[in-house]
Structure 1
Amino acid sequence: MNLVCPVPLDRYPQVLLAHGGGGKLSQQLLKQIFLPAFGASETGSHDAAVFTANQSSLAFTTDSYVINPLFFPGGDIGSLAVHGTVNDLAMAGATPRYISVGFILEEGLPMETLWRVAQSLGQAAQNCGVEILTGDTKVVDRGKGDGIFINTSGIGSLDHQQTIHPNQVQVGDRLILSGDLGRHGMAIMAVRQGLEFETTIESDSAPVHREVQALLSAGIPIHCLRDLTRGGLASAVNEIAQTSGVTMALRETLIPVEAEVQAACELLGFDPLYVANEGRFLAIVPPEAEQKTVEILQTFHPQATAIGTVTGKSAQTLGLVSLESSIGAPRLLDMISGEQLPRIC
C-alpha cells in the first residue's frame, strides 16, 4: 500500500511554531494529518468530547502547557494547566470533576520552582472543585525541556439536556463575549520584553465553569461555547463559522479591550482580536436570550457584552466572518495564518 501525505511538504517540510498557534496551520494539521490518521470525524472537533458511559453523559478533554516564562503576572504554568482543562470541559457545558496531571521536567530544574508550580496547581484544582486522580512524571536531558511541560486531562459530567456544539448555531443567534480581551497574551509579552506600563497587565487566567453553570441554571438555551485561547477571538469565531457553515458579523467598537492592553498591542504590533486569553469565552445564544445572558455574565465580569450576530447560512459564503471597524468600514476577519505569540499557553 502506497501512503501519500496530503500536506504540501514542499511548502511545509517541517513543523513550524505556527502549527501550534491555533490558526490556519493548526487546522491543516488537524484536518489533513490527525483526523484521517485516527479515523475521526471533523464534526467531533470541539474543546471537549462528549460521550455516554453507563447511561451517564460525560465530557473528556486533554491539553498540554508549554508556557514561557513559567511565572507571570496573574498566574503560572501550574494554575494555567488546571484552568485550561476546566475551561475546555466547561465549553461542552460540563461540570469539571476529575483531572490527571503529567509533568515533563528538564534536568537541572530548581526544586523550589517545581515546588511552587505543584503548590499552585494543587491550589487551583481545589479552588475549581476538581480532584486530581492520577499523574505521571518524566525527566528529559538538560536543554531539551524548557523547565517544565505539563499535560492535563479532565473528565466532567453533563447535568443538563442541552446540546452545546458549533453545529447548533443558527441564523440570528447573538455572540456574547464574557469579558475584555488580550490580557493573557500581553501579560506574557510584557514580561518577556521588559515592558513597564502605568499598571501591570495581569493575565486573565481563571476558571469559567461557574459562569457557564450560572447560564445553564438560569435556563439560557446555549447553542455554542468557545474559550478564546490560541488564536484569540478571531480564530474562535472562524472555527465556529466554518464548522457550522454560517456567516457572522462583529462590531469592533463593541469588543472591550483595556487601554493598557491596547497600548501594548500597538507597541508590539499585535492585533488584540488574535491575542490569546485564558479566562474569556464566547457564548452563542438565540436573540431572545441575549439580554439575560449579558446580565448574568456581567455579574462575573462587568465588561461582558454582545459583539455580533450570525447573519446567514450559504454555501457560497461558507464560514465567513466580517468585522465592522471603528470607522464603520467592513473587513474580512480571517483566521490567523502564522504564529503571533509563541509559547503563551
Structure 2
Amino acid sequence: MQQLIDEIFLSVFDDTPLQSQLKEDQAQLPLAEFTAHGDRLAFTTDSFVVTPLIFPCGDIGKLAVCGTVNDLAVGGAKPLYLSAGFIIEEGIEFKLLESIVSSMAKTAQQAGVRIVTGDTKVVERGMADQLFINTSGVGVIPSRIQVKVSAAQPGDKILVNGFIGDHGAAVMLARENLGLYSDLRSDCAPLSLLIHPLLAQCPQIRCMRDATRGGLGVVLNEIAKASQVTIELFEPELPIRPQTQAICEILGLEPLFLANEGMAAFVVPAQQVEQALQLMQSHPLGQQAKVVGQVTETSQGMVYLSTAYGGKRMLETPYGVQLPRIC
C-alpha cells in the first residue's frame, strides 16, 4: 500500500507549496488564501462511477475534478482545494491507474485548484467495478455574488454555454456495443475558467447550475420549482449537435435529459443578457453560448418547450433515468 501511494499518488500530486503535508492525516490550509477571495466558504462533495473508465475526451479522473470544480463554480465560488478518495478494485492495471491519476493532476492544474489530501482503499476483485473516486472541494464566494437556485424572476433569460447532451451520448456509445460509430466527444471541462471572469463582469447573474445528472431538463425544473416560476424553452434555439440528435432519435432518448459535464444553465437578468452572451462567446468554453429560453411568470414551478411547429409541451422531470448513472 505504501508503495502504491508513493509511486502512483504522491509522485503526481506533488504540489510544491503543500508537499510537506502530503503524508499528514489532514491538509492544513492558510486562512489568508480564503479571506483574500471572499467572505463565504463553499464546500461540496461528489462520488464518481463511470463505465468505461476512459471515454472520448475524458476519463473518470478528469470527470471527478471537473464535476467538483463545476459544483463550486456554479455557486459563485472560486474553487481552491480538492480532496480525492479512491476505492480501487484488486487487479486493476497500474498503467490505467497511473493514466487516470495523471489526468486528475493535469485537470486540477488547468482549473487552478490543488489536490491537497486524500485516501486510498483496495477492495477484493469484483467489489468496485475497477475504480470509484470521491472528491470534495472547497472554495470562496465573494460578498458581492448572490447566486441562488431560488433567485429566478419573470423576465430573466436562460442561457447555456455549449452543446446539450454530448457527455451522455459519448459515454453511451463508448459503453454499449450498439454497432454505431460517431466522432462525438464528451464536453467534460472545468467551468470555473468560464464562470470566474463572467461573474467579474456580470455579478448580477441570478442562478447557475451545471447540467449533469438528468441534463438540462431536470436542472431547469429544479430552478423553476425553487424559484416558483415558469420557464419557457425555445426548441429551435437549443444547441444540439446533429450526431447527438441522431443517436437520440435512433435509441428513443431525449437529449434534454442527457448528462453534460461542461455545460451549465445561466439565469440572467434581461438587461445583462447581451453582455453575458458576448463574454461567454469570447471564451473557449462558451463559443456556442445561446439564449435558449426565458422566465415567463410566477407559478408553482413549470417548464415547457415551445416547439419548432408552434406548439407547446410540458418538460417534466422524468420518473426514472434514461441511462445507468454515468457521472
**What TM-score bracket applies, with the shorter chain setting the length?**
0.7 to 0.9
2:311 aligned residue (295, 315, 329): 329
TM-score using structure 2 length:
0.85
Secondary structure of residue in 2 paired with 1:168: coil
- What do residues 265-315 of structure 1 show as CA deviations (whole Å, max 9, x unaligned)? 11121110000000000110111111111111112332211111111113x
1:146 aligned residue (113, 125, 129): 129
Match of 2:321 in 1: 339
Match of 2:77 in 1: 94
Match of 1:25 in 2: none
- What do residues 308-340 of structure 1 show as CA deviations (whole Å, max 9, x unaligned)? 1111113xxx11111111211100000121121
Q: Which amino acid aligns with 2:318?
A: I
CA distance in 2, matches of 1:219, 1:280: 18
Mapping 1:1-345, distance limit 5 Å = 56-194=39-177, 199-300=182-283, 301-314=286-299, 318-345=300-327
Q: Displacement of 1:247 after TM fit? A: 0.9
Q: Displacement of 1:210 after TM fit? A: 1.8
CA distance in 2, matches of 1:195, 1:160: 50
Q: Which amino acid aligns with 2:311?
A: A
Q: Displacement of 1:178 after TM fit? A: 0.9
CA distance in 1, matches of 2:318, 2:212: 13
Is contact 1:197-1:260 (8 Å) kept? Answer: no
Is contact 1:220-1:289 (8 Å) kept? Answer: no
**Number of equivalences:** 291
Q: Which amino acid aligns with 1:246?
A: V
Q: Which amino acid aligns with 1:312?
A: E
CA distance in 2, matches of 1:210, 1:109: 33
Unmatched 5+ stretches in structure 1: 1-51
Q: Displacement of 1:159 after TM fit? A: 2.8
CA distance in 2, matches of 1:267, 1:344: 20
Q: Displacement of 1:192 after TM fit? A: 1.8
CA RMSD between the two structures = 1.7
CA distance in 1, matches of 2:113, 2:162: 24
CA distance in 1, matches of 2:180, 2:49: 26
TM-score using structure 1 length:
0.81
Unmatched 5+ stretches in structure 2: 1-33
Q: Which amino acid aligns with 1:303?
A: Q
Is contact 2:202-2:276 (8 Å) kept? Answer: no
- What do residues 222-274 of structure 1 show as CA deviations (whole Å, max 9, x unaligned)? 10000000100000000111111111111111111011111111112111000
Change (3 A) 1:195 1:298: farther
CA distance in 1, matches of 2:279, 2:177: 37
CA distance in 1, matches of 2:318, 2:287: 28
Is contact 2:88-2:123 (8 Å) kept? Answer: yes
CA distance in 1, matches of 2:321, 2:121: 28
Q: Give the stretch that moved more between structures: 68-77 or 195-204.
A: 195-204
CA distance in 2, matches of 1:130, 1:67: 23
Sequence identity, in percent? 45
